[in-house]
Amino acid sequence: MSTSPATPAKPSMRDSLVAAAFELFLERGYEQTTVDDIVRTAGVGRRSFFRYFPSKEDVVFPDHEQSLADMTEFLAASADADDPLVRVCDATRLVMRMYAENPTFSVQRYRLTREVTGLRTYELSVVWRYEKIIGDYLRTRFADRRDGTLRANVVAAAVVAAHNHALRHWLRSGGEGDPLAEVDRALEFVRETWSGDAPAPAESDDDVVVVITKRSTPMWRVVREVESSLGEG
């Protein structure tokens, strides 16, 4: 008994809008393409476009809102016993997987953002949001450290920088190779640098006074200067 081949699933309206937008961006250029052009090519109305995308810029980055939400949920689900550095590295891999799921689209977007200053600015704002999510999580985990805020901010920046280094290297190659292996190598560098969890030195209640004096100065005078500095004279 023969069976007919399965009918391919029809793309969602959202996917159709993204496909139409990039078809036009590549054909005409980003600046020369309007929202009206996109909806006309997709065969839908303007209202449908704005139901999914607040602006033309957002259609270039259709997956980041979900990726940001996934990262937030992943970090929120961490246990107290989890190593916070390992946890944020794992969260960052979620973002790389999002890029790796569609290499062609990711490379096209990368090339487009290199050409359009406004898109590059938009992309940087998205990167800042990823870094903020990681930083917020780490500040909570490092709250009992005297250097907790500084450590959280620096580690968050390092993790994002390592991820972006691996991502750019992969995108510049045209999407060749294994991006997850690339990001693993970059994140391992961060882990090796920041995995030490020695406690920060405690604040000292003792005052330290440095006295500079000539070798020939009598000791009684040195003592008097120290007492004077401490307000004990």
Token digits for 202? 């405690």
Q: List the domain range (segments joined by +) for residue 207.
A: 203-233
In a domain, 72, yes or no: yes
pTM metric for this prediction: 0.77
Do residues 31 and 56 touch, judged by C-beta distance below 8 A? no
Let me know whether 19 and 108 are in one domain: no
In a domain, 5, yes or no: no
Measured between alpha carbons, how far is 63 from 30 in angstroms, rounded to an integer? 19
Let me know whether 54 and 69 are in one domain: no
Cα within 13 Å of Cα(174), Cβ side: 0
Residue pLDDT, tens place only, 23-66: 999 999 999 999 999 999 999 999 999 999 999 999 999 999 99
Q: 10 Å Cβ neighbour count for 102?
A: 13
Let me know whether 53 and 131 are in one domain: no
The pLDDT value given to residue 206: 53
How many domains is the chain partitioned into structurally?
A: 3
Let me know whether 103 and 145 are in one domain: yes
Measured between alpha carbons, how far is 172 from 176 in angstroms, rounded to an integer? 9
Q: Which residues contact 107 (CB under 8 A, 6 or more apart)?
A: 171, 174, 175
Do residues 112 and 30 touch, judged by C-beta distance below 8 A? yes
Residue pLDDT, tens place only, 180-207: 999 999 999 999 998 765 444 444 445 5
In a domain, 6, yes or no: no
Let me know whether 84 and 148 are in one domain: yes
In a domain, 182, yes or no: yes
Token digits for 24? 């036009």
